[in-house]
Amino acid sequence: MNAQQKTGTTTGTATAHRVVILGAGYAGMAAAIQLAARVKGRDGVDVTLVNAQERFTERLRLHMTATGQQTAELSIPQLLEGTGTRFVRGWVTAVDAEAKTVRIDDDRVLPYDTLVYGLGGVADTSAVPGAEDHAYTLSSAQDAELLAGRLERLAGGTVVVAGSGLTGIESAAEIAERHPRLSVVLLGRQEPGATMNPKAKAYLHAALDRLGVQVRNRAEVVKVLPDTVELAGGESIAADAVLWTSGTRTSPLAAAAGLSVDDRGRIVTDATLRSVSHPDVYAIGDAAAIRQGYGVMHGTCQGGMPTGVHAALSIDRALRGKQPKPFRFGYYHTPVSLGRGDAVVQFTRPDDTPRRICLTGRTAVRYKETVTASPWPTYGRMKKMPASGAFWPRGGRFTRLKGTK
């Protein structure tokens, strides 16, 4: 019997090992479904999934939500039916890593033997004065709906999108397409598509130009006011709405619990996705700082789902007295929507540097939609065939850490 099994406590008549998964985003859902499918029919393992809402948030579509488009109603409890996983709806307010408990809505306490931490990340509005108070974000479906309401009410004026990363680009394009009466300004330190190959980047710029998005590179926002954005150098841009997409930060819960975190609050993991300070805690998705041969992974759905699956496999192995395996993941694409009728897909090397090949136009739109729609059916398949969710590019030499095979 290994350490994890020894810690199981008696619930009812059976001694159960309690696995609590925090966050039912892309990574947490993958972890819950994969683990439930692996331990199904086996006595002694309880899986509980905690999330703020019962509806699954398709983060990849939040720029659509922000422009008033309806997305599918995906019910987490319904998907979990038949898996044996318990769903707890609530807001996690604290983790006690010594007592091994999680506090929900400040009034319920859930004990765990193994914790999977997948609470994701939010837009970092703390970096610039005024952003927290005056800027909209795409941190949750509710935040996106707030922006949708504001845009709907504007008869004209300017929307400033701060941050020229992928979320900023997709949002600026979507807003310009859906609300042609509004001027859209995309501000960022780097030019949009900076990491793409010249062909993909040129296509992206031409699409933003066609949609009327004004791109401002090397722009550093220093202050957000109710109706203005101030830039370094003294320039001000009048703004009827500001969308903040620059940078991400994670929940302070992990740091407050005494877990080792990096400078963005992400839990630092070992090669098997366990916290380096608390091995009974696994960290997945955007909330984890996971080192690969090319560096620390950045937050994506393409990498987040594999981390959830891998954490489940590691927990299952540990419960069966086996050694968890190292996690390896190599990127393969950067799909970017440019409104509903256009897109560009940059294929990448495992370290996320661009390959020469890219897709554009209708082919890219179909590719992007296939990718965006794929997580939910993938979870459904995993319920019956857990192995179907365990395929992803391992990244070859790019992901190998020194001293590992």
Ligand X SMILES: Cc1cc2nc3c(=O)[nH]c(=O)nc-3n(C[C@H](O)[C@H](O)[C@H](O)COP(=O)(O)OP(=O)(O)OC[C@H]3O[C@@H](n4cnc5c(N)ncnc54)[C@H](O)[C@@H]3O)c2cc1C
Residues lying near ligand X in the complex (CB under 6 A) are found at: 23-28, 50-52, 57, 59-60, 62-63, 91-92, 118-120, 138, 167, 170, 251, 285-287, 299-302, 304, 335
Tokens in use for 390?
Answer: 């365990």
Give SS3 for 269: strand
Q: Which amino acid is at 234?
A: G
Q: How far is the CB of 301 from ligand X (least distance, A)?
A: 4
Residue 344: name the closest of 214, 226, 198 by CA.
198
335 vs 389, which CB is nearer to ligand X?
335
Residue 231: name the closest of 188, 168, 171 by CA.
188
Q: How far is the CB of 121 from ligand X (least distance, A)?
A: 6
231 vs 373, which CB is nearer to ligand X?
373
Q: How far is the CB of 12 from ligand X (least distance, A)?
A: 26
Q: How far is the CB of 2 from ligand X (least distance, A)?
A: 28
Spatial distance between the Cα atoms of 290 and 274, rounded to a whole number of angstroms: 10
3 vs 91, which CB is nearer to ligand X?
91
- Contact call for residues 205 and 193 (beta carbons, < 8 A): yes
Spatial distance between the Cα atoms of 131 and 342, rounded to a whole number of angstroms: 30
Helix ranges (H only) for 90-223 are 131-134, 141-153, 166-178, 198-210
61 vs 328, which CB is nearer to ligand X?
61
94 vs 401, which CB is nearer to ligand X?
94
Q: How far is the CB of 279 from ligand X (least distance, A)?
A: 21
CA distances from 246 to 131, 135, 292 (A): 10, 11, 24
Spatial distance between the Cα atoms of 141 and 334, rounded to a whole number of angstroms: 23
27 vs 80, which CB is nearer to ligand X?
27
Q: How far is the CB of 7 from ligand X (least distance, A)?
A: 24
Spatial distance between the Cα atoms of 164 and 179, rounded to a whole number of angstroms: 19
Q: How far is the CB of 344 from ligand X (least distance, A)?
A: 12
37 vs 92, which CB is nearer to ligand X?
92
Q: How far is the CB of 54 from ligand X (least distance, A)?
A: 10
Evaluate the CA torsion angle 239, 243, 246, 248 in order and state its sign: positive
4 vs 283, which CB is nearer to ligand X?
283
Spatial distance between the Cα atoms of 303 and 178, rounded to a whole number of angstroms: 30
* Closest residue to ligand X in the complex (CB): 25
Q: Which amino acid is at 315?
A: I
Tokens in use for 219?
Answer: 């722009």
